[in-house]
Structure 1
Amino acid sequence: MSSPRRHHRYYDLILAAFVVVLLCSNFIGAGKAAEIHLPYFGSVIFGAGILFFPISYFFGDILTEVYGFAYDRRAVWAGFAALAFAAIMAQIAIALPVAPGQYMANYQQGMETVFGNSWRVALASMCAFWCGSFTNSYVLAKMKIWTQGRFLWMRTIGSTAAGELVDSSLFYVLAFYGLWPLDEVIQVAFIQYLLKTGWEVLATPLTYAVVAFLKRKENEDFYDIHTNFTPFKVKV
């Protein structure tokens, strides 16, 4: 049911896209709580990171389904390292002496507002992302064996529901407890979980199309029958 590990044409591209989306989700939208008004539901508060983050789970599902758990594990560690590097560089940029002038003074204030808590956001994100992504990949890999490769929709939705539950539960508490009111933290985390899982449901046709394309082009459909599922390695 499995094939030998080898070089893949599209893996590096997917890994790069995965890391870019992850960085965008954490440094563009993660710190902003937005509000929309929906019929019947009224005001709904959600984190702007919802625009980006579900796409990383989309890539995670594709990597595990086509290439296997080990290749997704490498992508998770690449994303983890990118987040750590971005957080360090953000703090260095903030700490550099500011040039004279009102424009740069305002610019510095804006940087501190957006990136001033980047260590806390990054650490919370890395912890939540690490735990949630490995949960997602593990559940999908095991479900693929249990279902003998059938019911892709069930595997992607089920694994995302498990991974997002772990991720959303951890991230908003670790990142924003004490900064946001507690009821807002809980509300945003719950809404994020529903939206991210719902996004996976809506993306199912796209997932099918991309997975079918990659399996055909790569001649790969890996089953993690003898995989070592430890998250603490990078080698595939």
Structure 2
Amino acid sequence: MTPHTPTQPAQGYRYYEFIMAAFVAVYLCSNIIGPAKAAQLTLPGWGPITFGAGVVFFPISYIFGDVLTEVYGYARARRVIWAGFGAMIFASVMAAVVVALPPAPGWHNQGAYEVAFGSTWRIVLASLCAFFCGEFVNSFILAKMKILSAGRHLWQRTIGSTIFGEGVDCLLFYPLAFWNSGLIPNELLPGIMLAQFVTKVAVETLFTPFTYAIVGFLKRAEGVDHYDRNTDFTPFSIKT
């Protein structure tokens, strides 16, 4: 299959917009719905583990990021990352405004609403910073590994890029959001970061067959298999 040229218009693809919508939806839901709930599971031989519910679904955004870079290339994945970044900014502003609006007389769910949708701006900014850096690292590593491996061993670059991307995400988010915040003791942060990192990479690994299926389908359906040999890897652009 011949790698596509960067001049091919994005609107010529049948499924690009659907992958973009899925990426943004997963990212928004995992950051807005998931973090409000602390979940606990008991694993055989390990015991109970407590985690933010969003961690179950957040790695799926990295799977879609892998699919976008692998099939359509870094530049088009970059556009999708910026779309997710902008959507999260809007969702955060909207949530802040809606939470701040005075509740109507007789409506007694303001407290629950604030718990579910009220995040401090420190946590929001930490999330945005971690997402921005982590996703671009993930996409960059995958694109470079694809060239080095001549397109072989997809599982190595999806898991390898996730290790770097999720590593950057965890290393940035937790210190920026919680260091000296009084919400989580500083001495507990390294353990939490490690647990979140391992969980996210494990989810990516478990979904590898699913990733293979989507990538294979899209490459056949779109007739494209992009190699980023002459790509400008700056994150500060939306050009394709």
Say which SS state the counterpart of residue 228 (structure 1) adopts: coil
Q: Distance in 2 between matches of 1:135 and 1:58?
A: 14
Verify: 1:48 aligned to 2:48, yes or no. Answer: no
For structure 1, the 5+ residue unaligned runs are none
Q: Which residue of 1 aligns with 2:150?
A: 148
Question: Match of 1:206?
Answer: 210
Distance 1:215 1:202, change over 3 A: same
Report whether the alignment pairs 1:89 with 2:94.
Answer: yes
Deviations 1:5-42 (CA, angstroms, capped at 9, x unpaired):
23211000000011010001101112433222223322
CA contact (8 A) 2:56 2:200 kept: no
> Which residue of 1 is the match for residue 29 of structure 2?
24
CA distance in 1, matches of 2:46, 2:212: 32
Q: For the Cα contact (< 8 Å) 1:47–1:188, is it kept in 2?
A: no
**Within 2, Cα distance between the matches of 1:95 and 1:199?**
36
The Cα of 1:191 is off from its aligned counterpart by 1.1
CA RMSD of aligned residues (A): 1.5
How much does 1:60 deviate? 0.2
Look up the match of 2:126. Answer: 124
Deviations 1:83-114 (A, max 9, x none): 0000101111112121112xx2x311112222
In the alignment, which of 192, 195, 201 is matched to residue 191 of structure 1? 195
1-side partners of 2:30 and 2:188: how far apart? 20
Q: State yes or no: 1:8 paired with 2:9.
A: no
Secondary structure at the aligned position of 2:109 is classed as helix
- Hey, what's the Cα distance between the residues in 2 that align with 1:175 and 1:111? 21
- Give the letter for the 1:24 counterpart: C
Q: Which amino acid aligns with 1:99?
A: A
For residues 39 and 188 of structure 2, what CA distance do their matches in structure 1 show? 11
Q: Is the 2:56–2:203 Cα contact (8 Å) retained in structure 1?
A: no
Deviates more, 1:2-11 or 1:136-145: 2-11
Unmatched segments (≥5 aa) in structure 2: none
State the Cα deviation string for residues 110-167 of structure 1 (Å, max 9, x = none).
1222222253332111110100000000000000000000010101010001100001
Q: Name 2:220's counterpart in structure 1.
A: 216
Conserved in 1, the CA contact under 8 Å of 2:59 and 2:203?
yes
Instruction: Tell me the secondary structure at the aligned position of residue 160 of structure 1.
Output: helix
Q: What is the match of residue 81 of structure 2?
A: 76
State the one-letter code of the partner of 1:232: F
Confirm or deny that 1:180 pairs with 2:181.
no
Percent sequence identity over aligned pairs: 55
Answer yes or no: is the 8 Å Cα contact 1:26–1:121 preserved in 2: no
Q: Relative to 1, partners in 2 of residues 1:33 and 1:39: Cα closer, same or farther, differing over 3 Å? A: same
Say whether the 8 Å CA contact 2:36–2:115 is kept in structure 1.
no
Q: Distance in 2 between matches of 1:14 and 1:80?
A: 15
Give me the whole-angstrom Cα distance separating, in 2, the residues matched to 1:233 and 1:136: 17
Measure, in 2, the Cα distance between the counterparts of 1:49 and 1:188: 14
Cα distance in 2, alignment partners of residues 2 and 8 from structure 1: 14
The one of 167, 170, 177 aligned to 1:168:
170
Q: Which consecutive segments of 4 or more residues in structure 1 shift more than 3 A?
A: none
Q: Matched residues in 2 for 1:25 and 1:79: separation?
A: 12
Q: TM-score, normalised by structure 1?
A: 0.93
Aligned to 1:61: 66
